[in-house]
Every structure is written in C-alpha cells, then in structure tokens.
Structure 1
C-alpha cells in the first residue's frame, strides 16, 4: 500500500487518499446488554397516584409491600473495530463487547451482520468477534508498532458518538505509557482525536498499516488518547480465535521498579532492570535459581530496561519454552535458563489496623503473633507487622502501609521488633534504610530516606 503524499516539510499534503483506502476495513459495532434489577416496577418518584392524590398514602403503602420482582433493562452501547480476515474476523476492545447479549456489526458499505464474540482478553482489553459475510471483506494490514517513533504521523478511524467513519490525524506523543489500566500497560499515546465510540478502532501509520488499537482517553484531557500496540495483540489473536482466551507464560517473581534510592541502597550503578522482590515457591524462577534481590536485565535475548518491559515478554512466551534470563547479582551478570510455566490465578491484598507511629523512620511495629500470622498467611515469628505509619515520614514517602510485614532490615532477616530495632541502631547516623516487606502474597523492597 502506497504511503500518503507528503509536503515539503515532510507532513502529509492530504490524508484523503489514505482515508479512502482505509475506511472499508473499519466497522461500527453496536452491542445490547441486559441488566436485571429488582424493584416495585409500578411506582414513579411521586408514587403511582401522584403526590397530591388522596389515594396516595393507602395505595403507595400497598405497592411498597408487594413482593419485588426482577426486571430486565436493555442497554445499548457502541464502539469500533477493524477487519483482519476476508471471512469476517474483527478486532475490537474487550470493554466494548463484555457482557453483550447481542452484537451487530455495520460495514462501511452499510451492510449489517449479527456477530459472535469468539474470544476476549480483559487484561489487555482485546476481543475478537466474527461475522458471516455474503462475500469477501477488505482487510486491514497489521504493521509493526515497535518501529513507531515519537513524532510519527498516525490516523485514527472509528465511530465516535455514533458518527460513522470519522477520520482524525495526529502524531505519536509518547510510547510505553503506563496508565494503570492493567498488568500489561504499554500504551501508545497520541493527540489524534479519540472519543467515546472510537474504542476498538484502528490507529494507522501513513503506510496504511494498523499500529494500535484505540482504547482509552483521559476524560478531562484534550489531545490525549491511548492505543494498545498492535504487536501486543498479534501474539494473542491466534489464541483468541482458537480457544477464546489467552494462556500466558509465567516466571514466578514479584518485581518492582528500581528507584534511585533503591539502586543506591543495593549498590547498583544505575536503575535499569526489574528488581526481584520475591520468588514464588515451586515456580519456574525458583527452579532456575533466581533469588530475591536479583535484578533481571534481560529475557530471551531482549533487554529489560525497566520493570514494565518484563511482564508482557514473559506473558507472550510459549509455555514450556526454555529461555535465557540475564540477572545482575552482587554486581556481576549471570545467565540462567528458565523453563516458562503457565500463568496461575491472581491473588488479592489485605489491609491492616492503625495505631500511632513513632521514631525517625515513622514506623510503629509489633511482633507477629500466631493469630495475626495466620490471618496474613505467614508463620509466627516471620517478620514484624507495621501497625502505623506517620504521615510525611520516610516510611510514608517510601510507600510503606499499615498491615505490611517487614521481613528484612538492611538485608538482615528480623523475627521480632527487638531485632528490627537493633538493625536500625547499628548505624545511628544512617540517612537511609532498606526494608524488605510482605504485602498480601507479594514481597518488595523499599528504600527509606531521611530528608
């Protein structure tokens, strides 16, 4: 497909030819969702007979005391999608079709088809639907989102607010954005206008290739939209088509970002990589010899420059595949061989109590008794529990919360408040303190710094 014509400055002279070519592969998706609610079903806000009716008090009471029956309400919503196969496979967002009882796809030619959701992945907000067209369909070519550069021109096509085949243009504002949408955040940010109804639609480059799936906006922002990189979707689509869900690779480590404070406390030269805060027992990581405190800097031949780079790579790796993992341990690089496992279910966190905090680090601690240990899923004597954090203190700034269980102080295990205090007092004039703590089922490091 030929790129759009460009002007003297390198900017497109017009997007018209490109829009003509791309529009046929973009679809409108309408969904109907059914919600069941329980209510009296007959009475309005002023009662069935009105506020001034003399029958109101009697009959309102009568209807209120009637058994409440469930009622069904049909809700309609809309989104966008794009065709990836001539026989009717269409990519969209999971949040567009989740919970849908009916799905209808309208092509650019105005033809309408009932559609079936054949696969969804909530963690990446990607879904696959299928229609049975009368003939062959135009297909959107999938590009390479890794080759996108900040500043590249992109074109969004979709159906914002039900306005079919709306074309907007802008540039790639940033890559690798983490917006808190899920565990595999890696969004393309663009200033091409994206509005409600654009969800699931394609983000094209000037070669007419899909490089992103428009997904999210900041409600009060202008010129700030986000798209899932198409390279992330490429590895998931075959699984969604074959079995309706995604099976992910699993390493078995809890990781965290390396802040400058943590890098300093761990005597690291820089803050590249993913710090291993904990290793799950019986996991592939444990079997391979990965340990708490290691820094993962490479996975299967790819550099891990920051923490958020690792989870998508592991998730996309085939189960049972043996891969090299490069770690930094005690200042030296090591390469370990890991056999990737299957992703298990997720676990939840648990909050704790609150009491006044004290000390220069802003922590109030308590020995971990048997009852508290059982409630937190730990063994009695395994660490000390945080019962309060002083607002604005070093502990508060480092993210320590009430209910966390401190396992190590300056890389030394502690089993009582007395031991924890002894470790903090070994260097009375120290300006930093390195803690390893457990929160729910996950362990992580925190570097406390005095101002």
Structure 2
C-alpha cells in the first residue's frame, strides 16, 4: 500500500514538473517574462523638449458683461445721466452715452495645447488649430520659463504650424518615421491635457493610414489624449517622434479610446516649407474625383476597384491640357500608384508646381499614358457652376427604358464635350440604375455614343441580366452607372 502511494506521489511530481516546463516555453510565459515596456528613460530624455502652449485673443467689448453696460437697465429708467453709487460704471460723457459707445478691446485666454522643439534655436512644431486666430502665443518650458512665440507659418489643410521663440540650446526630439509603424506597437504621448503640463500617457498603435482628411492618413492609437494634448509628440520605444497628436474621436469631448496623430514624415515636409517660405505650396491638376467602387470597376473593365475616377475636368486646367477626360480612372501619377481615390490629392499636392509628370489612366477598357505639367493650387479653389441642360425639342430613340435625343452644337459647347446623347425620359432598367432626365450618356460599354440610333444599337446588344456600363455626365460631373437589362 505504501509503495503505491509513493508511486502516485512521484507521478504527481513528474506531471507538475512537466506542466511547469511547458508553461515556461509557452508564448504567455514569454510575454510575462518580458513584461511591459519601461518608459522612464524615454520620458527623461524627451520631456525637456516638450512645451506647453497657451494663447490669448483680443475681443471687442463695451463693458464688463460681454460688451453690455451693466447699468443699462437703470439708465433706461432714470435717464442717460444716471451714475451708480461710488461713481462706477460707464464714465463716458452723457453726450457719448446717448450715442453708440466706443468699442473697447480686451485680451482673454483662448486655449492651451502642446508642442515640441525640432531645432536647438527655438523652432517648435505644433497644430494649426492650437494657434489659429490667436493674438498672442506663450510657450512654457518644463522648468517654468516662459517665452513669447511668433508664427513662422501655419497650414490649415494638414493642421501643422511652425513657431519660433528667441532662445538657443533648446533640448530637441529626434525625428523618426511613421512608415515603419505596425499595429500593436507601443507608443506614448507627452503633452498638457486640460493644461496639466508634462503629462505622459501610453498605448499601442491601433491602425495605420486612417482616412479622415484630404491630405493626411492619420495614425490611430489608443493612447489617452485629451484637449491640451494637441500638438504634442507621439513617440516610439526608441524615443523618436513618429507623429503629432492632433485629434480624438469622442462623443463626450474627452478621451474614449481613439486618438489620431499626424505622421511625422508629412509634418516635417510641411514644416520645411513653412520655414523656407512661410506657407505651403501644393500642386494641382484641375480635376474632381470620386471613388472607384466595384460597380465602377466592372463597368469600366478594370480587374479591381483601384484608382481615382475623374468626375469633372476643370476648364483650361493642367488636366484638360494633358488630355484627361471625364470618366478616366487615374491609376498612377508620377510613378506612384493610386490605390484609392484619396491617395491622389496627397500625391499631387506634394508634387512641386511646374513638375512634368507621367500619368497612367484607364479609359474605355484600355490603359492610356498622359504627360501633364503640375499647376499650383490657389488659396481658394473656385467651383464652376453646373450648367442646367435645356429641354430638348427633338423626338428621341428608346432602349432599356431610356429615351435619348441628340445634343445640339450649343449644348456640346456648353457641356465641353464632343459626343453623347441626352436623356429625356427614363423608366424600367434605366430608372433602376439611377438615370434621370437631363443626364448625358457619353459611352455605352466603353464605346463613345454620338447619336440616339447608335445608343439603341449598343443597348440592344446587351445580354439579358448582364450589367451594361454607361458613363454619364450629370451637372458637369461624370459618373459610371450599371444598367441591368431585365431577364427574359
């Protein structure tokens, strides 16, 4: 009996040792052995380079209560010469009080934010919205020293601003790159949330290339960022800046687990232009674009939904001069692939005006290469008014429930096209596809349409139930529609 107990004891000990051994070599054990990262050395080096930014604004007022005279009611009862006890209140002469009071200006706190030094001679990177409309900007270092800063340049489109203080030998942060970031990577932020200077928070990269703006794909993290963190650095475990904390996604106004940062690569390019020119110069080609959906790709004959579809070409712009047409799908610009439509504004915007670039487009089922000279984007881009098509007088031809008529020469000139037919009535398959009277059908199955008779011939070739791609111009913009003939 005793030998059996000893045997069971040895078996139990053996199994316990095996379990411990397996646990030690498991991923969980390795994770627990490694533990969480220690940020103390990173913070010690980075903290002196991060600053608190507070701004003031000058507002007009006619008194102490938001511009209203606090004794206005008494003067309404007792007359304009009324003086409050002690002689306070409005000390203007009665004649002045009877008219409009002279406006007065006062300085009020506007907001707080963060920033960081990118050079030892006092250049500071922050957000545009931190200093926008500020009359004065004050920068406070970690040791309490305060400087008055001036704006070297600010760019609203990327939300990047460059400041300068009159100082030397400032601590700076090493600039890294956001190109190598991966989901799950540890990062930390230093800033002044709610005015609490030098606050450190940490988290991981949640997503890369988050689309929320025209020119920047943001870094998404779960780092706790709150109002006042804006403009502060996002650091990796090497202590290098990989982004500028800029936005939070929140329903309450406070942190809810989603923070967005500007990639430092794009921010430094903007900062360089601001330092050299005080402004950012961007390229433009003069097109309005839209997304290439699966339906658009299918209608145009593309294998995959990629690129940016041209819905409108700006008259006399670089794109029109290069031969770009509405309905073209831009797949590559200056050697850079356009994976999604939002890539094109960034690629073109970062190209210097005057650059001669090669552009590859997909047109009517085949690739086309174009040479284009990039123009300069003006500060305010004018939008052309959409021309309203006149009611047609000619009798039309009908196919797939779509009745069309020929375009007049004046209409072709007005719409800036040399072919197409105009829709006058629609029902059935055409109505289901989204066609409306006044639309101009430019192509059917990647073939230019020049007459109602040709339109009917092309439409009748469509197989029952198979989508038929039509490029349509509506209110000056081109788009693809899929018309599905009814199954017999």
TM range (shorter): 0.7 to 0.9
Tell me the distance in 1 between the aligned counterparts of 2:77 and 2:236: 68
Which residue matches 1:277? 311
Tell me the distance in 2 between the aligned counterparts of 1:76 and 1:149: 37
CA-atom RMSD, angstroms?
4.5
Secondary structure at the counterpart of residue 142 of structure 1: coil
Q: Of 196, 216, 234, which residue of structure 2 is paired with 1:203? A: 234
Q: Of 119, 127, 150, which residue of structure 1 is paired with 2:153? A: 119
Q: Of 273, 279, 286, which residue of structure 2 is paired with 1:239? A: 273
Deviations 1:168-192 (A, max 9, x none): 111111122222x4x2141111111
Secondary structure at the counterpart of residue 328 of structure 1: strand
Deviations 1:257-286 (A, max 9, x none): 110111111121101122223333433333
Unaligned runs of 5+ in 2: 1-29, 83-94, 389-399, 426-430
Deviations 1:299-338 (A, max 9, x none): 2332221111121121112222233333334444454443
Q: Of 199, 207, 211, which residue of structure 2 is paired with 1:166? A: 199
Unaligned runs of 5+ in 1: 1-5, 354-360, 388-392
Displacement of 1:409: 6.3
Q: 1:116 and 1:54, CA in 2 relative to 1: closer, same or farther beyond 3 A?
A: closer
Q: Note if 1:286 corresponds to 2:311.
A: no
Q: Note if 1:347 corresponds to 2:347.
A: no
Maintained 8 Å contact 1:27/1:105:
yes
Displacement of 1:42: 3.8
Tell me the distance in 2 between the aligned counterparts of 1:36 and 1:395: 56
Q: TM-score, normalised by structure 1?
A: 0.76
Q: Note if 1:26 corresponds to 2:61.
A: no
Maintained 8 Å contact 2:387/2:415:
no
Q: Of 31, 52, 59, which residue of structure 2 is paired with 1:35? A: 59
Q: Of 300, 307, 310, which residue of structure 2 is paired with 1:266? A: 300
Q: 1:36 and 1:266, CA in 2 relative to 1: closer, same or farther beyond 3 A?
A: farther
Tell me the distance in 1 between the aligned counterparts of 2:337 and 2:233: 29
Tell me the distance in 2 between the aligned counterparts of 1:347 and 1:414: 31
Maintained 8 Å contact 1:152/1:171:
yes
Q: Of 52, 70, 73, which residue of structure 2 is paired with 1:48? A: 73
Deviations 1:350-391 (A, max 9, x none): 6999xxxxxxx999999999xx999x9989x9986999xxxx
Tell me the distance in 1 between the aligned counterparts of 2:355 and 2:101: 56
Structure in which a larger fraction of residues adopt helix:
2
Deviates more, 1:425-434 or 1:144-153: 425-434
Deviations 1:199-224 (A, max 9, x none): 11111111111111111112316111
Tell me the distance in 2 between the aligned counterparts of 1:241 and 1:403: 53
